[in-house]
Amino acid sequence: MHIDILTLFPEVFPAFLGHSILGIAQEKGLVDFRLWNIRDFTQDKHKKVDDRPFGGGPGMVLRPEPVFRAIEEVEKEVPGTVPPRKILLSPQGTRFNQSMARELAREPRLMLLCGHYEGFDERIRQGFDFLEVSIGDYVLSGGEVPAMVIIDALVRLVPGALGDEFSTVSESFSEMLGEPPVLLEYPQYTRPREFRGMSVPEVLLSGDHEKIRKWRLEQARLRTCQRRPDLLRE
C-alpha cells in the first residue's frame, strides 16, 4: 500500500509514522508513505499557498494552483501503479468510521490532502474525484491530525501489520475486532492477580479457553449495549 500525504506541514508526520505498528508495517514493506509539501508546488517567488477569500470574510483560503499541481505531479510520480484513491480531509466530509477504514485498507494507493487555514478554494473539490472525509464533528486547525487518525486506523487492518499473535486472536473474535456489528472491547487484565483489593475475574485464570472466549464476547456485548447502543443498530 502506497500512501501519499500532501500537506503544508510534512515535518509533523515522521515521528508518528516511524513508531509502533506503523513503523513495523513500513519495515516489513507492507506500506510506504511519501510526504509532499504543497508549498514546493508553488510557482511564484513568495511561494504563496493561500490568499484572502473573494467576497471578504475572515481567514485565508488555500489557492487552487499549487494544490492542482501537487496532485497532478504526485499522481504521475509512481509510474505503473494505479491512480490513487484521493481523500480530502475536512469537517464537511463523510464521517470516518471502522467500515470506511476497512474499505480504504483494501486500496493499493491512497492520497491524503490536508488543508489548513479557513478552507480550500472550491475549485479544488470540483477538479478531482475526492472522497471527502471528516473524523468528527469538531473543527481542527488542519487536516494533519485527521490524516494520522485515518492512517493509523487503516494500516492496522493491512494483513500482517499486527503480527501473528494478534491476528490469531482476531480470527476468533472478528465480531469484536472489526466485522460488523463492531463491539467495544471486553475488559482486560494483566498481573498482579490482586491489586488494591480488586481481583482479576476467576474465569480468566481458569485456563478454559472456550469459557474465556464466551465470557469476553458476553462482556463486549454488555459494554456495547451500555455505552454505545447505536453501534448495534448500524
Beta bridge partners of 140: none
Q: Which of residues 64 and 93 has its CB atom nearest to ligand ADE in the complex?
A: 93
> Of 29, 43, 138, 207, which one interacts with ligand ADE (CB under 6 A)?
138
Q: Dihedral of CA 223/229/233/234: which sign?
A: negative
Q: Which of 207, 186, 211, 187 is nearest to 199 (CA)?
A: 187
Pairing, β 61-62 against β 50-51:
antiparallel
Q: Which of 204, 16, 185, 188 is nearest to 98 (CA)?
A: 185
Record the cell numbers describing residue 121, joined without a space: 478554494
Least spacing, CB of residue 220 vs ligand ADE, in Å? 28
Q: Would you count residue 146 as binding ligand ADE (CB under 6 A)? A: yes
Least spacing, CB of residue 90 vs ligand ADE, in Å? 5
Least spacing, CB of residue 155 vs ligand ADE, in Å? 18
Least spacing, CB of residue 192 vs ligand ADE, in Å? 41
Q: Would you count residue 143 as binding ligand ADE (CB under 6 A)? A: yes
> Of 71, 89, 112, 161, which one interacts with ligand ADE (CB under 6 A)?
89
Contacts (Cβ under 8 Å, ≥6 apart) of 93: 131, 132, 133, 134
> Of 91, 105, 151, 156, which one interacts with ligand ADE (CB under 6 A)?
91
Q: Which of residues 97 and 206 has its CB atom nearest to ligand ADE in the complex?
A: 97
Q: Which of the ranges 30-38, 55-63, 77-85, 140-148 carries the binding residues for ligand ADE, by CB under 6 A? A: 140-148
Q: Would you count residue 100 as binding ligand ADE (CB under 6 A)? A: no
Q: Would you count residue 37 as binding ligand ADE (CB under 6 A)? A: no
**For the chain, where are the E strands, in sequence order?**
2-7, 32-37, 50-51, 61-62, 85-95, 109-113, 119-120, 130-134, 194-195, 198-199
The identity of residue 156, as a single letter, is R
Q: Which residues bind ligand ADE (CB under 6 A)?
A: 89-91, 134-136, 138-140, 143, 146
